[in-house]
């Protein structure tokens, strides 16, 4: 319950909420701010769908371009911050594309996953020398969950 409230606080602080077509098809998420507090601007809902798997969205944007072009599209709409809630492949590709500055990961005290449900997917990085470093790593608690917060380090 506490972690859900924390996620809605993150949503409330964001101008846009972004997810992938795979998440939309699998989970049908609401993509809303349920913090109960007034927003300074409406929350923009964005679905990333390069393969055309999702039909048009009346209450948001379906973006079919490359991730590298997403930042320019959001900037043109005066979006200053966004929250990416997605599956493992999109998470990896967004980090690799350089559109992610901060990572907040909620870890529940439960074991699940495996090859079919990794935390980070995509092509992956095999060599430690090519790993994407994180900085300013913070570990906190949210009820029974652990919250890992870090910033992507790009000065390489």
Pairing of strands 61-63, 102-107: unpaired
pLDDT above 60: residue 73: yes
φ, ψ (nearest 5 deg) of residue 91: -60, -50
Domain count, the chain: 1
Tokens of 114: 């495996």
pLDDT digits (tens, 9 = 90+) for 38-70: 999 999 999 999 888 887 765 788 999 999 899
Can you say how many angstroms the Cα of residue 14 is from the centroid of all Cα atoms in its chain? 11
Specify the pLDDT at position 1: 86
- Entry pTM: 0.85
* CATH of residue 71: 3.40.430.10
Q: What's the whole-number mean pLDDT along residues 118-132?
A: 83
Band (pLDDT 50/70/90 cuts) for residue 29 is confident
Specify the pLDDT at position 10: 95
pLDDT above 80: residue 156: no
pLDDT above 60: residue 14: yes
150 vs 122 pLDDT, higher one: 150
* Domain span at 60: 2-152
Residue 55: partners with Cβ closer than 8 Å, 6 or more residues away = none
Specify the pLDDT at position 28: 82
Band (pLDDT 50/70/90 cuts) for residue 76 is very high
Band (pLDDT 50/70/90 cuts) for residue 146 is very high
d(CA 77, CA 70): 11
Specify the pLDDT at position 151: 96
Tokens of 33: 């701010």
Q: Report H helices in the chain.
A: 2-13, 21-27, 67-76, 88-97
d(CA 30, CA 149): 24
Tokens of 109: 């005290």
């Amino acid at each position: 319950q506490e972690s859900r409230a924390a996620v809605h606080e993150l949503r409330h602080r964001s101008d846009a909420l972004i997810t992938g077509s795979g998440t939309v098809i699998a989970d049908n998420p609401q993509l809303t701010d349920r913090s109960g507090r007034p927003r300074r601007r409406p929350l923009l809902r964005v679905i990333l769908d390069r393969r055309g798997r999702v039909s048009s969205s009346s209450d948001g944007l379906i973006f079919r371009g490359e991730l590298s072009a997403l930042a320019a599209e959001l900037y043109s709409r005066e979006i200053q911050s966004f929250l990416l809630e997605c599956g493992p492949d999109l998470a990896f590709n967004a980090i690799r594309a350089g559109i992610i500055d901060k990572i907040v990961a909620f870890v529940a005290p439960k074991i699940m996953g495996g090859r079919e449900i990794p935390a980070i997917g995509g092509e992956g990085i095999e060599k430690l020398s090519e790993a994407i470093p994180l900085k300013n790593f913070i570990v906190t608690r949210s009820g029974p969950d652990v919250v890992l917060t870090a910033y992507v380090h790009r000065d390489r």
